[in-house]
Amino acid sequence: MRTVNHPGSKIQLWVAVLGVSCLLLQSASATLLFTEAFNYTPNSALGGQTNPGTGAAWSGGNSGLTVGSTSLYSPAVADQGGYDLVIQNGSAGTVVATFANQTGGTVYYSFLFDPLVANGGNNYFIALNAGTTAPNGGSDAIDAYSYSSGKIEVRASPAAANAGSSIALTLGTTHFIVEEINLVSSTLSTASLWVDPVTGGDTPPTATATLSGLSATMVDNIGFKANSTASGQDLIGNVRVATTWAEVTPIPEPSTFALLGLGLGLMAAVIRRRRS
């Protein structure tokens, strides 16, 4: 019996092929302002390294800001690979890298954070600023503070007080942190903090904490700080800076092999249908 090739069957096959091709592609998104996986030589200083994504050099630094030999991971957010940043408190030092200047709208940044020991003081460790200004505490456009109580809080100039989590972070545990600054004006800008939020989607959930009446009107660099008044180590990994919530909270994607198997299964189903 002669097999009749129906035009509809050919269309189905082409749809299947297209489906495989689409499945094998990573989901597209707008360009991130900055990402950092610390994919450098383990145990080397971060200062002097060049970010492979932006080409920006990490300026400054000291022995308290080094590339680790392990990698923080959270199932809540897509992994960039690479290593972690080890912040060894005990001596003061900062590193700074720049990204495209943002003079309005919302800027988010996210990172994995593992406080290995309780902070010996109340210290800032990561910040966004304008120009090449290093993290400097109360005058930062926005930063994150680690408290001796174990809590993490957001601070932004000229906020009279920090705002943050109501419970302490678990030491030796990887937490997913997101902060956001909305650059409105020198008196109306706002900042927010999320601790272990639900990831994915285009709209952020209710913030853990929010500040208002801030003065920042631009940001174009990210910096890290080791503090002389703190003790012990903090680990940071999987850093992203972007203008949308979705870009800094991407959920893990299925592996390439899983996508390939799904696509091939779709093709096989179409072929079986043609032969029946």
Mapping DSSP to helix (H, G, I), strand (E, B) and coil, where does residue 157 land? coil
Backbone angles phi, psi at 67, to 5 degrees: -80, 130
What are the tens digits of pLDDT across the range 10-52? 444 333 333 434 333 444 445 799 999 999 999 999 999 999 9
pLDDT over 80 (residue 274): no
Residue 269's domain spans which residues? Answer: 1-26+253-276
Mapping DSSP to helix (H, G, I), strand (E, B) and coil, where does residue 202 land? coil
Question: 181 and 120 in one domain?
Answer: yes
Question: 269 and 186 in one domain?
Answer: no
Question: 72 and 123 in one domain?
Answer: yes
Question: 260 and 199 in one domain?
Answer: no
Question: 80 and 145 in one domain?
Answer: yes
What are the tens digits of pLDDT across the range 113-146? 999 988 888 899 999 999 889 999 889 999 999 9
The encoded tokens of residue 249 equal 């909270």
Question: 262 and 187 in one domain?
Answer: no
Question: 141 and 14 in one domain?
Answer: no
Question: 244 and 258 in one domain?
Answer: no
Output the domain CATH number for residue 55: 2.60.120.200
**How many domains does the chain fold into?**
2
The strand pairing partners of 192, in sequence order, are 180, 210
CB count within 10 Å of CB 117 equals 14
Question: 42 and 1 in one domain?
Answer: no
User: 255: which residues sit within 8 A by CB, 6+ positions away?
Assistant: none
Question: 12 and 68 in one domain?
Answer: no
User: Contact 47/58 with Cβ under 8 angstroms?
Assistant: yes
Question: 95 and 67 in one domain?
Answer: yes
| pLDDT-above-70 percentage for the chain | 81
pLDDT over 60 (residue 261): no
Question: 268 and 207 in one domain?
Answer: no
Given this model, what pLDDT does residue 162 score?
A: 85
Mean pLDDT of 161-184: 93
